[in-house]
Structure 1
Amino acid sequence: MSSERNADTGRDMGRDMGRDVGRPMPHDRHGAASTEMLQTLRQDIDAVDEEIIAAIVRRMTLARAIGTLKQRTGQPVLDPAREASVVSRAAMRGRDAGLPEQDVRALYWQLMAWARRAQMQERLPGQPHGPIPGPLHESLQSP
């Protein structure tokens, strides 16, 4: 039975006596270092994921505050021109940063939908369903 190796990594491609695909060969000097690097990079991604979630939470808190202000001033929740502007600006920034423009647009349209839903759910005291709790909401309750 023959063994194939990845030209870049030198790793067994899974044909050598039923070995697992991608498992380092015993003589692979870089196996431990590669594993450590992979673990470090995954920890970095986990940290970025935490930052992304925190940013989304902050954005939703701001969206609820905007919903409260819109309601106080009689403005509609839906503002198509503003949403299109936000999505276009994000798509341009994403493109400039090397990200696929359509993917950035899709992400931001989803964020717009979440914000709209949060604004529709936001109620002033005494109105049906009450306010959605949030750190910024309490500061908006004071005149």
Structure 2
Amino acid sequence: MQITRTTDFELLARLNKPIQDLHVSLHPEFFNEYNLETVREVFRHWVTREDFIFLVLEDGDESMGYAWVEVKDYSGNAFRKPGKSLFVHHISIVEGHQAKGYGSKLMNYIYDMARQLDISLVELDYWADNTGAEHFYHRQGFETSRVTVRKAL
């Protein structure tokens, strides 16, 4: 099993399907149905951003999933101290291969990457009704630090 950094937007677009399908199933009023061509174009642009890092996990010759992380640089102001974090936007594992340790391998790689970048904070968010993510991140040692709410009018 190996994890590598990638700019292969075609591969990322294909690996994105499980997480996009999950988001659509949880919140169809908010998320668009997965469309390979549209997603490919988004990733084509995103892989050129210096603050975005894309990782692919391969087991043998098969790609099992990806992670999208962002290096966030918070400038200080009168209210907040300056700092950096690695923000995990996506972790997506291909259908039929979840709960086999691939997500944990990606997260451990992300923790190591943060340490190498001298970043002491990894952040992420997930939808409140995504109980699978909630349990996974709780097992990873994440703690709730902020709660976001919304009201539809």
Q: TM-score range by the shorter chain?
A: under 0.3
The structure carrying a bigger strand percent of its residues is 2
Larger radius of gyration: 1
- TM-score relative to the length of structure 2: 0.24
